[in-house]
Structure 1
Amino acid sequence: MRTSSKSIAVLPFVNMSNSIENEYFCDGLTEEIINALAKIKDLSVTSRTSSFYFKNKDVSAKEVREELKVATFIEGSVRTSKNKMRITVQMIDTVDDFHFWSETFDRNPEHVFEIQDEISLFIAEKLREHIGHLEIEDKLVEPIDVPVDIYRDYLKGRYYIMKLDYKNSIKGINILKEVIHKSPNFSSPYLDINLAYVNMGTMGLLPAFEAYEKAQPYLLKALELDPNSSRSQLNLAWIECWQNWNLEKAYEHAKKALEIQQADDIYLTISNFLTVEGKLGAAHNYLDKALQLDPYAAINHHYRGFLYYLQEEYTTAIPYLKKALDLDPKLPFPPIYIGISLLLSGKPNEALSYFGSLEGVSVKDLSKLGGETMCYAKLNETEKCNEGLRKLETYLTTELVDKAFTFLILVNALLGNSEKVIDLVEQAYHNRLPLILLLNPSPILKTVKNHKRFKDIMLKAIPDNVNYKQKRKYKQALLKTNEIKKYSKELEQIMMDYKLYLNPDLSLKDLASYLELPANYASQLLNLGFQKNFSEYVNTFRVNEFKERILQEENKDLTIMAVAYDSGFNSKTVFNTFFKKIEGATPNAYIKSNIKN
Structure 2
Amino acid sequence: MAIPRKSIAVLPFVNMSSDIENEYFCDGLTEEIINALAKIKQLSVTSRTSSFYFKNKSVTASEIREKLEVATFIEGSVRTSKKKMRITVQMIDTVDDFHFWSETFDRNPDNIFEIQDEISLFIAEKLREHVGHIEIEDKLVAPIDVPVAIYREYLKGRYYIMKLDYKNSIKGINILKDVIHKSPNFPNPYLDINLAYINMGTMGLLPAFEAYEKAQPYLSKALVLDPNSSRSQLNLALIECWQNWNLKKAYEHAHKALEMQQADDIYLTISNFLTVEGKLDAAHNYLEKALQLDPYAAINHHYKGFLYYLKEEYTTAIPFLKKALELDPKLPFPPIYIGICLLLSGKSNEALTYFGSLKGVSVKDLTKLGGETMCYAYLNETEKCNDGLKELETYLSTALVDKALTFLILVNALLGNDEKVVDLITQAYNNHLPLILVLNPSPILKPLKTYKGFKDIMLKAIPDNDNYKQKKKYKQALLNKDEIEKYTKELEQIMMDYKLYLNPDLSLKDLASYLELPTNYVSQLLNLGFQKNFSEYVNTFRVKEFKERVLLKENKGLTIMAVAYDSGFNSKTVFNTFFKKIEGITPNTYLKSNS
- TM-score above 0.5, yes or no: yes
> Which residue matches 2:186?
186
Look up the SS of the partner of 2:281 in the other structure.
helix
Q: Deviations over 1:282-333 (max 9, x none)?
A: 2112112211211111111111111111111111111111111111111100
CA distance in 1 between partners of 2:337 and 2:13 (Å): 36
Cα distance, 1:510–1:82 mapped onto 2, change above 3 Å: same
CA contact (8 A) 2:576 2:587 kept: no
> Which residue matches 1:440?
440
| 1:489 positional shift | 4.7
Matches within 5 A, 1:132-171: 132-171=132-171
Cα distance, 1:561–1:96 mapped onto 2, change above 3 Å: farther
Matches within 5 A, 1:100-111: 100-111=100-111
Q: Deviations over 1:112-135 (max 9, x none)?
A: 111111111111111122222222
TM-score normalised by length of structure 1: 0.94
| 1:542 positional shift | 3.1
> Which residue matches 2:512?
512
Q: Deviations over 1:395-422 (max 9, x none)?
A: 1122211111111111111111111111
| 1:6 positional shift | 1.7
Matches within 5 A, 1:236-315: 236-315=236-315
Cα distance, 1:558–1:96 mapped onto 2, change above 3 Å: farther
Deviates more, 1:269-278 or 1:495-504: 495-504
> Which residue matches 1:575?
571
Deviates more, 1:576-585 or 1:298-307: 576-585
Percent of aligned pairs with the same amino acid? 84
Partner letter of residue 3 of structure 2?
Answer: T
CA contact (8 A) 1:37 1:45 kept: yes
| 1:549 positional shift | 3.0
Partner letter of residue 269 of structure 1?
Answer: T
Look up the SS of the partner of 1:478 in the other structure.
coil
Look up the SS of the partner of 1:372 in the other structure.
helix
Cα distance, 1:551–1:159 mapped onto 2, change above 3 Å: same
| 1:531 positional shift | 5.0
CA contact (8 A) 1:9 1:70 kept: yes
The number of equivalent residue pairs is 592
| 1:561 positional shift | 6.7
Cα distance, 1:545–1:368 mapped onto 2, change above 3 Å: same
Look up the SS of the partner of 1:78 in the other structure.
strand
Partner letter of residue 260 of structure 2?
Answer: I
> Which residue matches 1:208?
208
> Which residue matches 2:463?
463
Q: Deviations over 1:91-115 (max 9, x none)?
A: 1111211111100001111111111
CA contact (8 A) 2:549 2:555 kept: yes
Cα distance, 1:11–1:474 mapped onto 2, change above 3 Å: farther
Q: Deviations over 1:178-219 (max 9, x none)?
A: 111111111100000001111111112111111111111001
> Which residue matches 1:392?
392
> Which residue matches 1:500?
500
Deviates more, 1:284-293 or 1:152-161: 284-293
CA distance in 2 between partners of 1:337 and 1:506 (Å): 35
Matches within 5 A, 1:485-496: 487-496=487-496
| 1:526 positional shift | 2.7
Partner letter of residue 582 of structure 1?
Answer: F
Look up the SS of the partner of 2:542 in the other structure.
helix
CA contact (8 A) 2:10 2:30 kept: yes
CA contact (8 A) 2:156 2:172 kept: yes
Segments of structure 2 that go 5 or more residues without pairing to the other structure are none
CA contact (8 A) 1:279 1:466 kept: no
Q: Deviations over 1:372-410 (max 9, x none)?
A: 111111111112111211221121122211111111111
Look up the SS of the partner of 2:396 in the other structure.
helix
Segments of structure 1 that go 5 or more residues without pairing to the other structure are none
CA distance in 2 between partners of 1:61 and 1:118 (Å): 25
Matches within 5 A, 1:373-452: 373-452=373-452
Look up the SS of the partner of 2:571 in the other structure.
helix
> Which residue matches 2:85?
85
| 1:474 positional shift | 7.2
CA distance in 2 between partners of 1:562 and 1:161 (Å): 50
Partner letter of residue 116 of structure 2?
Answer: Q
Q: Deviations over 1:425-473 (max 9, x none)?
A: 1111112211111111111012222211111111111111122112336
Cα distance, 1:65–1:566 mapped onto 2, change above 3 Å: farther
CA distance in 1 between partners of 2:352 and 2:490 (Å): 46
Structure 1 residue 32 and structure 2 residue 32: aligned? yes
Partner letter of residue 577 of structure 2?
Answer: K
CA distance in 1 between partners of 2:23 and 2:515 (Å): 44
Look up the SS of the partner of 1:397 in the other structure.
coil
CA contact (8 A) 2:133 2:552 kept: no
| 1:589 positional shift | 5.4
| 1:39 positional shift | 1.3
Structure 1 residue 223 and structure 2 residue 223: aligned? yes
Cα distance, 1:544–1:136 mapped onto 2, change above 3 Å: closer
Structure 1 residue 10 and structure 2 residue 20: aligned? no
Structure 1 residue 364 and structure 2 residue 364: aligned? yes
Cα distance, 1:562–1:350 mapped onto 2, change above 3 Å: farther
CA contact (8 A) 2:132 2:553 kept: no
Look up the SS of the partner of 1:513 in the other structure.
helix
Deviates more, 1:308-317 or 1:285-294: 285-294
Deviates more, 1:556-565 or 1:317-326: 556-565
Partner letter of residue 186 of structure 2?
Answer: F
TM-score normalised by length of structure 2: 0.94
Matches within 5 A, 1:548-559: 548-556=548-556
Cα distance, 1:252–1:583 mapped onto 2, change above 3 Å: closer
